[in-house]
Amino acid sequence: MVEWTDFERATIKDIFSKLEYDVVGPATLARCLVVYPWTQRYFGKFGNLYNATAIAENAMVSKHGTTILHGLDRAVKNMDDIKNTYAELSVLHSEKLHVDPDNFKLLADCMTIVVAARFGSAFTGEVQAAFEKFMAVVVSSLGRQYH
């Protein structure tokens, strides 16, 4: 069971309440697909991922990025039980989608960069620490059902 300080709880709620899911989600997934091109292999049916511009303009990437953000929203709303909240999603990524769990961390890193860019100087070291802790719990929970 993960312990959260009042500051961490407040910071996570605050960040997500200010994020536009349909902007940050697409930007995060697009960045992941550009920076770590091997992650494209899971999105074969998304069509043109030929270069950074194609990825940024790909409507399926945008839609799925938004879906991922809504997936994260469930963790924000269940901070005391992220592991169980993600049990089914972990099984899906493991058994059906066969996503290498190392990729969760890569996506989390991309999201940190996107969020940092949007928050600017408000994204202090303490805020980053809280955000990265939250994402680490997400990554670990999504990887729970792998064996």
For ligand HNI, the binding residues (CB under 6 A) are 39, 42-43, 64, 67-68, 71-72, 89, 92-93, 97, 99, 103-104, 107-108, 138, 142
CB of 17 to ligand HNI, least distance (A): 18
> Which of 82, 76, 89 is CA-nearest to residue 115?
76
Q: How far is the CB of 48 from ligand HNI (least distance, A)?
A: 16
Residue closer to ligand HNI, measured from CB, 101 or 118: 101
Whichever of 17 and 121 has its CB closer to ligand HNI, that residue is 17
Q: How many helices (H) and strands (E) does the chain have?
A: 8, 0
**Which one, 118 or 121, has the nearer CB to ligand HNI?**
118
Nearer to ligand HNI by Cβ, of 110 and 127: the residue is 110
Per-residue tokens: 115: 């969020």
State the nearest-atom distance from the C-beta of 86 to ligand HNI, in Å: 8
The DSSP letter of residue 4 is: -
Cβ-Cβ contacts under 8 Å for 91 (sequence gap 6 or more)? 145
The CA distance from 123 to 113, in Å, is 10
- Per-residue burial over 48-86, b = 16 or more CB atoms within 10 Å of its CB, e = otherwise: ebeeeeebeebeebbebbbebbeebeebbeebeebbebb
CB of 121 to ligand HNI, least distance (A): 26
Residue nearest to ligand HNI (CB): 71
